[in-house]
Structure 1
Amino acid sequence: MTPTTPAALSGVPVVPGVAYAPVIRPGRPPAPEDLSTPGAVAEADRPDETARFGAAATAVAERLRERAAHATGAASEVLGATAQLATDRAWLGAAEKRIGEGTPAIRATAEAVEQFVEMFTKMGGLMAERVTDLRDIRDRVVAELAGLPEPGVPVPDVPSILCAEDLAPADTAGLDPALIVGLATSLGGPTSHTAIIARQLGIPCVVAVTGLDDVDAGRLMLIDGTRGSLTVDPDTAEAVAAVARAAEAAAAMANWTGPGATADGHPVAVLANVQDGAGARAARETPAEGIGLFRTELCFLNSDTEPSVEEQARIYGEVLQAFSEHKVVVRTLDAGSDKPLKFANSPDEANPALGVRGIRVSFGNPALLDNQLAGIAAAAEQTGNAPWVMAPMIATPEEARDFAGKVRAHGLTPGVMIEVPAAALLADRILEHVDFLSIGTNDLAQYTMAADRMSAELATLTDPWQPGVLALVAMTAKAGVAVDKPVGVCGEAAADPLLACVLVGMGITSLSAAAAAVTAVGAKLSTVTLEQCRRAAEAVLGTADAAGARAAALDVLG
């Protein structure tokens, strides 16, 4: 792509907003083969080489943990998970075995990581999401071994649009929204780590952009995170006008203070997703009316042993206290797959995304769920705030019935997540046993479309605007309306202001999103009537693809 040729690119829109700025790109770390010494390590030197490797891996993990401790929300979550991966004994052992056979530490690091990259790629699903994380860990460990600066995104001198093939969590979590005003990747999907963190930071973001790799650093770019469009070397006056219009709209939305309702007064609870007490306290600074998703498993990713009931009660109590006298929905452990808990004894599986995860972990370890419910009940008693409790990965009415019985035995309100298509199809029968439903659109899209949500080639299939996915959402909402029981959405779809209006038109009663998205969602709802939302939902459900669904909603809602 030459510097004089304007170009229009498109991808999957993730975070709304418009920006115009020069492109920057992350530097490419040196290839491990260029840094590794040739030949074999002498047998007498191998213990020292193994120790040098272990020290490098530990240093990388400690830096990631430190960043996680100073981050909040999704950024803290993914940094913690990456730090755990950096200390995983499987790949570390594979590297140490190679060093023990005489391979230099740098080359052993690269070979061991590539072994697991190949394994995770074949597994697909959520495990394939860890490939970018693994390669990032490889680059950081190799840099540590070689005495080079830690790889990462350069800090620009002026506000810039960051373009990359993909970004590791450690890079995305450290972005400064004042300097990185737009984000575009050629890989990834709408629920990738990059997308989730960009949404938390409020950076306009488009992923799975065809042709992005041909755009050189220094080119001027206009990015529209609402439409998923990027224009390279646009007309300057037009680009400046587009940014001004977006800024004016954003300023108007920033004045919204809640509570959630349409322009004609139809109430819609606008809630926040959190993972710990710090995240809940940050969400309290927004107009969020409560917590629609408390991801409890993220509190324990680095725990070697199951926390006691008392320890769990203390952690849950921080979130309940932050939203005292407000609604809080607690999700029980969503362990397994890409979020393994050491104390949950998750089995090695060929396809973990379809295996023992979520509520299924408790089938072989019922005490795990019983102890968690006891901890939640104790936190409720200590704080005076009784939360609603829901289970992830429910697939049948029988599973819902069994879970509801255990929750009610602790004096709590039971619900389940709708992430499995079978559960959406049987939502009316599941509602015979529970008091509410919450739709996780990330996994629902992946399972409905049979598409790995990290695959750039399939990113359009995992777009939450897919009519097939929205048809299941509408079916679930209709089941709730029929028996007057609430049905919320807590997946990333709820963070899209335009799609939020469509969901309300389907009968969704609450929307829970990253704290940074709460104001935009509530503000957009306040500008449209319930009838407009219903007309938009009807129009969207009559379309045949995601692009058509988005266009149909824009026609009705603007």
Structure 2
Amino acid sequence: MRLQGVGVGRGVVTGPVLRMPEPLPEPSDSPRTVSADEEYERAAAALRATALDLTERADRLGGEGKDVLEAQALMAQDPTLLEDVRARIDASKTAERAVFEAFNTFQQMLLSMGGYMAERASDLGDLSQRAIAHVRGVPMPEVPQVDYPFILVARDLAVADTADLDLTKVLGLITAGGGPTSHTAILARSKSIVAVVGVAGAADLDDGVRVLVDAGEGVVTTNPSEKAIEAAQRRLNRRRLKVPIGPGCLADDVAIPLLANLERVEDAERARELGAEGVGLFRTEFLFLGSEVAPSRERQHEHYARLLRAFPGQKVVVRTLDAGADKPLPFLRGGPETNPALGLRGIRAMRDNEQILRDQLAALALAAAESSAELWVMAPMIADAAETAYFVTLAREYDLPVAGVMAEVPSSALLAAQILGIADFVSIGTNDLTQYTLAADRLLGTVAHYQDPWHPAVLRLIKMLGDAGAQSGRSVGVCGEAAADPLLAVILVGLGVTSLSMTPEAMADVRTELRQHTLEHARALAVRALAASTAGEARAVMLES
């Protein structure tokens, strides 16, 4: 049996399956039976213990995971969270129910924002589980401890779980949830763990069954033959060569800049160490979270100035606030929506809250004036030329010379020539573009197999954007995690993409793969991929090249 998912890296591994235990059940909503003070102390003690546990795990984990766990530890002691828990207990909730509901409220807000932010929601779910386990005084369901090597199968893997992964035992990861931008995928890359995420059917894999995990193909094969294992290993061996850190380019020296996707200024040093030639996507959402009011111009200016100082003389692309939907940030106008992914998000939400956008652009302009970095700004979820003109005109008011848009909606590809007649550049968000093209929620496991940027329909939209960029002489980049797939990166270049932005840990593999192909060869491969009828057929073009 072959199960399709999204591969992380290009590794191949075989071994027996071992499943993560099921999560703790949702606490019942029965009223508390002890005093509010006593119940609150139980909840507060559990949150303190959770924060301490996460801090200890952060020290063991290091790297990006350390930063995430430290942030979660702070969240577990956030005064606003504690106030929320207290209010729910005062309303007769039990400690565990109050903790569950408080975390769930924030989790739903992230889910409603869509995209990258929604994929952070699982981290909060894990934090909630850990706190509830402390309230109940029961063990947290965690990675099983056995004395033999295995391939771990889970719904999704929380960052805290990775702190205790024994890499001499855990051969690979298979998850039913998550995507290429999930923390599971990012940490798997950073630890060089072979992984396939978003696997439909992962829940049906039983303990002990032998599987072949082929990240290059994004496939999990049960009970593989020796012939299948050898074929996968041969494909891997052909691509093991690494090129030194340096500018991204093709075999014929055509430059393809490799840029970093960042969400925090603190990640800049690591990105530079891994060879980032600048920033292709700086997400500003985290600056706006956890506050009843939008951050001031002064606070934003300080934040952006630190970012720009980290990349002197290099391009830094900052995306304006991408928020909105069903449970938006408290300071954004807008009511509940039946289908938030298709609602008031991205540039639509900002047009409804223009002063917030103006403050952000003003802060960016001030930071740029003090820096040698080359600041580019872009707006998310642009659908047409009118929205493009709105944003570019606003950016020009603040003397921001390079203003572009994100192509995440199919209409932006269909109208690419019009949009690039106005915008200075386009950056393709392949995660949302795939979601909207194939009408498949990127966070819904039952349709995870549709969330595949190799699909010919998605590739054809990218080709439209690439062609429009070539005709207008303007840059068309990719900042979706499709750029982190070394094989797909070659196809993207063949479709007309001129720069690639990704998690920094993916740069070595992408840099190496690009050096194996000339521009002419990449274009020839892209033509063949466009002619495919399925994502699997398109991927096979590269696997067989």
TM-score, normalised relative to structure 2:
0.85
**What pairs up with 1:91-170 in 2 under 5 angstroms?**
97=88, 100-101=91-92, 104-106=94-96, 112=101, 132=122, 135-154=125-144, 160-170=150-160
How much identity, in percent, do the aligned residues show? 43
1:529 aligns with 2:522: no
1:389 aligns with 2:371: no
1:84-134 deviations in Å (ceiling 9; x for gaps):
699798999699657744x64346666x58997998999897698677556
1:298-334 deviations in Å (ceiling 9; x for gaps):
2332344332323222222222222211111111111
1:478 aligns with 2:467: yes
How far apart are the structure 2 equivalents of 1:60 and 1:345? 34
1:306 alignment counterpart: 294
Sort the Cα spacing of 1:42 and 1:166 in 2 relative to 1 into closer, same or farther, 3 A.
closer
1:356 aligns with 2:344: yes
Greater shift after overlay, 364-373 or 435-444? 364-373
Sort the Cα spacing of 1:152 and 1:269 in 2 relative to 1 into closer, same or farther, 3 A.
same
Conserved in 1, the CA contact under 8 Å of 2:287 and 2:295? no
Conserved in 1, the CA contact under 8 Å of 2:263 and 2:283? yes
1:499 alignment counterpart: 488
How far apart are the structure 1 equivalents of 2:110 and 2:396? 41
Sort the Cα spacing of 1:178 and 1:536 in 2 relative to 1 into closer, same or farther, 3 A.
farther
Tell me the CA shift for residue 398 of structure 1.
1.5
* CA RMSD in angstroms, aligned pairs only: 4.0
SS in 2 for 1:284: helix
How far apart are the structure 2 equivalents of 1:554 and 1:100? 59
Greater shift after overlay, 400-409 or 64-73? 64-73
Match of 1:552 among 516, 541, 545: 541
* Structure 1: stretches of 5+ with no match in the other structure: 1-7
2:19 alignment counterpart: 25
2:313 alignment counterpart: 325
Paired amino acid for 1:19: V
How far apart are the structure 2 equivalents of 1:122 and 1:261? 37
1:419 aligns with 2:408: yes
Conserved in 2, the CA contact under 8 Å of 1:539 and 1:553? no
Sort the Cα spacing of 1:320 and 1:204 in 2 relative to 1 into closer, same or farther, 3 A.
same
1:449 aligns with 2:438: yes
Greater shift after overlay, 429-438 or 139-148? 139-148
1:293 alignment counterpart: 281
SS in 2 for 1:329: strand
Conserved in 1, the CA contact under 8 Å of 2:72 and 2:127? no
SS in 2 for 1:262: coil
SS in 1 for 2:450: coil
Match of 1:543 among 532, 535, 539: 532
1:188-232 deviations in Å (ceiling 9; x for gaps):
444555335434544322134355435444555431101123345
SS in 2 for 1:206: strand
Conserved in 1, the CA contact under 8 Å of 2:245 and 2:508? yes
1:229 alignment counterpart: 219
SS in 1 for 2:374: coil
1:56 alignment counterpart: 46
Tell me the CA shift for residue 145 of structure 1.
0.5
SS in 2 for 1:367: helix
Sort the Cα spacing of 1:67 and 1:369 in 2 relative to 1 into closer, same or farther, 3 A.
farther
How far apart are the structure 1 equivalents of 2:184 and 2:406? 24
How far apart are the structure 1 equivalents of 2:291 and 2:110? 27
Greater shift after overlay, 454-463 or 186-195? 186-195
Conserved in 2, the CA contact under 8 Å of 1:123 and 1:351? no
1:10 aligns with 2:3: yes
Sort the Cα spacing of 1:191 and 1:362 in 2 relative to 1 into closer, same or farther, 3 A.
same
Tell me the CA shift for residue 495 of structure 1.
0.6
Tell me the CA shift for residue 267 of structure 1.
1.7
Sort the Cα spacing of 1:168 and 1:348 in 2 relative to 1 into closer, same or farther, 3 A.
farther
1:408 alignment counterpart: 396
Conserved in 2, the CA contact under 8 Å of 1:11 and 1:207? no
How far apart are the structure 2 equivalents of 1:515 and 1:334? 22
Paired amino acid for 1:136: D
Conserved in 1, the CA contact under 8 Å of 2:109 and 2:327? no
Conserved in 1, the CA contact under 8 Å of 2:150 and 2:170? yes
Paired amino acid for 1:166: D
How far apart are the structure 1 equivalents of 2:145 and 2:114? 33
Tell me the CA shift for residue 257 of structure 1.
2.2
Tell me the CA shift for residue 351 of structure 1.
2.2
SS in 2 for 1:499: helix
How far apart are the structure 1 equivalents of 2:64 and 2:476? 24
SS in 2 for 1:330: strand
Conserved in 1, the CA contact under 8 Å of 2:325 and 2:336? no
How far apart are the structure 2 equivalents of 1:247 and 1:377? 48
Tell me the CA shift for residue 530 of structure 1.
1.1
- How many pairs does the alignment contain? 541
* Structure 2: stretches of 5+ with no match in the other structure: none
SS in 1 for 2:449: coil
2:508 alignment counterpart: 519
Conserved in 1, the CA contact under 8 Å of 2:430 and 2:481? yes
Conserved in 2, the CA contact under 8 Å of 1:81 and 1:301? no
Match of 1:269 among 257, 261, 275: 257
Match of 1:372 among 347, 351, 360: 360
Conserved in 2, the CA contact under 8 Å of 1:21 and 1:160? yes
TM-score, normalised relative to structure 1:
0.83
**What pairs up with 1:449-468 in 2 under 5 angstroms?**
449-468=438-457
1:398 alignment counterpart: 386
Tell me the CA shift for residue 423 of structure 1.
1.3
2:176 alignment counterpart: 186
Conserved in 2, the CA contact under 8 Å of 1:113 and 1:134? no
How far apart are the structure 2 equivalents of 1:540 and 1:120? 38
How far apart are the structure 1 equivalents of 2:296 and 2:321? 14
How far apart are the structure 1 equivalents of 2:294 and 2:113? 29
SS in 1 for 2:273: coil
Greater shift after overlay, 274-283 or 357-366? 357-366
Greater shift after overlay, 490-499 or 360-369? 360-369
Sort the Cα spacing of 1:71 and 1:121 in 2 relative to 1 into closer, same or farther, 3 A.
closer
Greater shift after overlay, 183-192 or 525-534? 183-192
SS in 2 for 1:383: coil
How far apart are the structure 2 equivalents of 1:445 and 1:257? 31
Conserved in 1, the CA contact under 8 Å of 2:200 and 2:448? no
1:464-502 deviations in Å (ceiling 9; x for gaps):
111111111110111111111110000011111111111
Tell me the CA shift for residue 515 of structure 1.
0.1
SS in 2 for 1:416: strand
Sort the Cα spacing of 1:51 and 1:449 in 2 relative to 1 into closer, same or farther, 3 A.
same
How far apart are the structure 2 equivalents of 1:329 and 1:452? 27
